Amino acid sequence: MAMQFYASPEQIMRDRSELARKGIARGRSAVVLSYSGGVLFVAENLSSALHKVSEIYDRIGFAAVGRYNEFENLRRAGVRMADLNGLSYDRRDVTGRALANAFAQTLGAIFTEQSKPFEVEICVAEVGATADDDELYRLTYDGSVNDEPGRMAMGGQAEAITGVLKSQHRADMSLAEAARVAVQALSTVGGEGGAARTIAANQLEVAVLDRHRVGRTFRRITGAALTALLDGDVSAAEQSAEAGGPDTPAQPTTESHKPTTSAASADLEDKPADGK
Amino acid sequence: MFTNAGTSSFTTFLSRVAPEMLPGRRPLPPGMAADLAPHATTIVAISAAGGVVMAGDRRATMGNLIAQRDIEKVHPADAYSLVGIAGTAGIGIELMRLFQVELEHYEKIEGAMLSLDGKANRLASMIRGNLGAAMQGLAVVPLFAGFDLAGADPERAGRIFSFDVTGGPYEETGYDAIGSGSLFAKSALKKRFRAGLSVDDATRLAVEALYDAADDDTATGGPDLTRRIYPVVMTATAEGTRRLTDAETAAIAEGVVASRMENPGG
C-alpha cells in the first residue's frame, strides 16, 4: 500500500502564503491615495497597454499588483458584476463595498481550494462626496479585506512606501501635491544602496477618480499632461485634470487596410474597371 | 460565472448567465400583442458639418390615447454616439439601456472604444434578437447616429444608421427619420436639407421636421407651449454628446412656432 504524505493544513496555508507573498514582492508597486479632488492611483508600470489601474464603474476604480493574468481576470469579473448590477438595479446601487466583498470571496476560495493561490494584491477604491467619504479597500491573496484610511501602498516593499505616505499624505492635498507624494514614496525603494531613485513619467501609470464629475469619474493622465503634473506645473496639471470632454480611451484610428465593409469589395474599389 | 475569461460583449455574457434579462429571450404567448403597450413615435437625425443632430418628439401613444406626453426617446449611447427609439416603448427603453451598457462594457474591458460601425453592428444584432417579439407586434426600430472618431474628414464625421426589425444596419446619407411621423419628417427634410449645414442650423431643421411630422401625424407630439414640453435635441460632435438645455430647445421650438404663425406650411 502506497504511503500517503501527510501535510498539516497549517503547513499548506503557510506554504501558499509564502508563494503568494514572494510573487507579489517581485513586482513593482502601486499607491492609491485620496486628495481634495478625488482619488489618485499611481502605479509603476513599464507598459502603456497592459494596465494595472482601471475603471470598474462610475465612481469605482481598481488597482492591482502581482501577476497580470490573475488580476486581469479579477478585473473583468468586477466589471461584469458591476455592469450587471447597475443594469438590474440602478447605477447608484453599484458600490465599492459589494465589489470588495465579491473579490474577497473569490480570492478566499481560490486560496483554500486551488493548489496555487493568486499572486495578487488589489485595491478597490470608491470616490465619495468628500475625502472623508472615500473608501479604499485592500484585498490580499488570501481573501482578507481591509478598509484603508485614505492611502495605501501595494507590492514589493509596500511597508517602506506606506511609511513615506503616512508621514507626507494629507486628505486636503491638491492633485499636483498628491502626485508628488505618491512618486516620492514609490521612489524611496529599489534604489541602489537604499538611495532614492528617479522614476520617469513613462514608467508610471497615473489615473484619478474625479470627485467633481457626474457619471463616469475615471480619467487616465498620460503623455504631456502627466509630465506637466510631475514637473509640478500646477496650472497645466490642473487643466489636464479638468480637461473637459468625455473619456477618451485609445481611439480606433483610420486604418484603410482594415476595411469595415467586405474585404472583397474594398479590394475592388479604386481599381480600373477593365480589371487591369 | 463572472470569472470566465469569456467575452468582451455584455449581451453575450448575459445570454450565458442571465438570458431572461435579454428582451428577445422571453417566451411570449401566441397572438398579436401590438396594442398591449405604449408606442414611441418620431425621431429625426441630421448630419451636419462636424457632427450629427438627433431629435425626438415627446409623445407615446396607445391606440387613440396619448400614453405619455413627456417621454424621452433620444439618449446618448456613449460619449460620441446617440440612439433614438421608436416602436414598443418598454422594449425600446430596455434595449437602449442594454446598448448603453454594452458599449461602456466593451470600452472598460478592452480599454478602447468600439468603432462607430462596430457599435451599429452590435445594435443590429440586438434588434435581430427581438425579431420573434417584433413579429407579434412588439417591434422596436432604433435610429443610431454618432461622431466617427476614425473619420478622415471631421466635417463628414457625423454618420447615421437606420435599422429594420430584422437588424440591418443601413447607413443613411444626410438625414433620416423613424417612427409613425417619419414619412412627413423625411418629406420636410428632403426639401430643406443641404449638405454641410452648421450644427445650429441642423438643430433648428430637426425641430422644424418634427413640427411637420406632428402637423400630419396624430401620434407625434408638437411643441407643447402650455406645459413647456419641447422635443429632446442632442448633438454628437468631436467634443462628445450634448443634450440641448430646456431653455435652448424652448427658444428653438418657440421660434419655429412663431414662424409657422405666418406661414403654416413652413
The per-residue pLDDT for range A193-227, each reduced to its tens digit, is 777 888 888 899 999 999 998 889 999 998 889 99
Distance CA A27, CA A41 (A): 17
The per-residue pLDDT for range A126-169, each reduced to its tens digit, is 999 999 999 999 999 999 999 999 999 998 888 899 999 999 99
Residues A246, B79: C-beta atoms closer than 8 Å: yes
Secondary structure of residue A196 in the 3-state scheme: coil
Chain A neighbors of B18, CB-CB under 8 A? 84
Helix, strand and coil in chain A, % to nearest 5: 40, 20, 35
Quickly state the pLDDT bin for A239 (edges 50, 70, 90): low
C-alpha cell at B248: 435652448
Q: Global pTM?
A: 0.87
Q: What is the dihedral of CA A191, A197, A203, A208, to 10 degrees?
A: 110
Asked if the structure places residue B1 within a domain, the reply is no
Residue of chain A minimizing CA distance to B102:
A83
Of the residues B1, B2, B107, B241, the best mutation for testing chain A's interface (the one with the most A CB atoms within 10 Å of its CB) is: B2
Phi, psi for B250 (deg, rounded to 5): -60, -45
Contact B73, B86 (CB under 8 A): yes
Q: Is B261 on the interface with A (CB under 8 A)?
A: no
CA torsion through residues A106, A112, A117, A122, sign: positive
CATH number for the domain including A46? Answer: 3.60.20.10
Asked if the structure places residue B166 within a domain, the reply is yes
Asked if the structure places residue B73 within a domain, the reply is yes
Chain B neighbors of A254, CB-CB under 8 A? 150-152
Give the pLDDT of residue A235. Answer: 57
Asked if the structure places residue A3 within a domain, the reply is no
Contact B127, B84 (CB under 8 A): no
Q: What is the pLDDT along chain B (266 residues), one digit of tens a residue?
A: 666 667 889 988 988 888 888 887 777 878 787 777 888 889 999 999 989 999 999 999 988 889 999 999 999 999 999 999 998 888 899 999 999 999 999 999 998 899 999 999 999 999 998 888 888 888 889 999 999 998 777 778 899 999 998 888 899 999 999 999 999 999 999 999 999 899 999 999 999 999 999 999 999 999 999 999 999 999 999 999 999 999 999 999 999 999 999 998 87
Look up the domain containing B89 and give its range.
36-262
Closest partner residue to B97 among A79, A87, A249, by Cβ?
A: A87
Please report the residues numbered 199 through 218 in chain B whose beta carbons come closer than 8 angstroms to any beta carbon of chain A: none
> How many domains, in total, are found in chain A?
1
Q: Which of A165, A174, A216 is nearest to A54 (CA)?
A: A216
Q: Is A106 on the interface with B (CB under 8 A)?
A: yes
Residues B5, A248: C-beta atoms closer than 8 Å: no
Closest partner residue to B112 among A56, A74, A250, by Cβ?
A: A250
Q: Is A86 on the interface with B (CB under 8 A)?
A: yes
Asked if the structure places residue B18 within a domain, the reply is no
Contact A220, B83 (CB under 8 A): no
Residues A249, B111: C-beta atoms closer than 8 Å: yes
Distance CA A87, CA A93 (A): 10
Residue of chain B minimizing CA distance to A55:
B108
> How many domains, in total, are found in chain B?
1
Residues B98, A106: C-beta atoms closer than 8 Å: no
CATH number for the domain including B203? Answer: 3.60.20.10
Closest partner residue to A252 among B97, B105, B113, by Cβ?
A: B113
Q: Which of A25, A31, A30 is nearest to A150 (CA)?
A: A31
Catalytic residue among B11, B12, B41, B220: B41
Chain B neighbors of A74, CB-CB under 8 A? 3
Write down the residue that cell numbers 478592452 correspond to: B110
Residues B113, A254: C-beta atoms closer than 8 Å: no
- ipTM, two decimals, is 0.88
Q: Which of B85, B51, B69, B54 is nearest to B189 (CA)?
A: B54
Q: How many CA atoms lie within 13 A of A58 on its CB side?
A: 15
Asked if the structure places residue B47 within a domain, the reply is yes
Residues B240, A246: C-beta atoms closer than 8 Å: yes
Beta bridge partners of B172: B160
Look up the domain containing A189 and give its range.
11-268
Q: How many CA atoms lie within 13 A of B58 on its CB side?
A: 18
Beta bridge partners of B142: B85
Q: How many CA atoms lie within 13 A of A88 on its CB side?
A: 12
Asked if the structure places residue A199 within a domain, the reply is yes
Asked if the structure places residue B120 within a domain, the reply is yes
Contact B119, B126 (CB under 8 A): no
CA torsion through residues A225, B152, B236, A249, sign: negative
Of the residues A45, A69, A80, the best mutation for testing chain B's interface (the one with the most B CB atoms within 10 Å of its CB) is: A80
Q: Is A199 on the interface with B (CB under 8 A)?
A: no
Contact B42, B57 (CB under 8 A): yes
Chain A neighbors of B152, CB-CB under 8 A? 254
Annotation says B241 is catalytic: no
Q: Is B112 on the interface with A (CB under 8 A)?
A: yes
Report the 3 state secondary structure along chain B. CCCCCCCCCHHHHHHHHCHHHCHHHCCCCCCCCCCCCCEECCEEEEEECCEEEEEECCCEEECCEEEECCCCCEEEEECCEEEEEEEEHHHHHHHHHHHHHHHHHHHHHHCECCCHHHHHHHHHHHHHCCHHHHHCCCCEEEEEEEECCCCCCHHHCEEEEEEECCEEEEEECCEEEECCCHHHHHHHHHHHCCCCCCHHHHHHHHHHHHHHHHHHCCCCCCCECCCCECCEEEEEECCEEEECCHHHHHHHHHHHHHHHHHCCCC
Please report the residues numbered 17 through 56 in chain A whose beta carbons come closer than 8 angstroms to any beta carbon of chain B: 49, 51, 54-56
Asked if the structure places residue B22 within a domain, the reply is no
Share the mean pLDDT of chain A. Answer: 84
Cβ-based neighbours of B98, under 8 Å, separated by 6 or more:
A87, B10, B11, B14, B21, B22, B23, B126
Asked if the structure places residue B24 within a domain, the reply is no
Q: Is B16 on the interface with A (CB under 8 A)?
A: no
Q: Is B161 on the interface with A (CB under 8 A)?
A: no
Chain A neighbors of B103, CB-CB under 8 A? none
Write down the residue that cell numbers 421608436 correspond to: B86
Chain B neighbors of A86, CB-CB under 8 A? 101
Q: Is B66 on the interface with A (CB under 8 A)?
A: no
Q: Which of B83, B88, B89, B86 is nearest to B103 (CA)?
A: B83
Closest partner residue to A260 among B97, B98, B115, by Cβ?
A: B115
Contact A88, B21 (CB under 8 A): yes
Give the pLDDT of residue B19. Answer: 86
N- to C-terminal Cα separation, chain B: 57
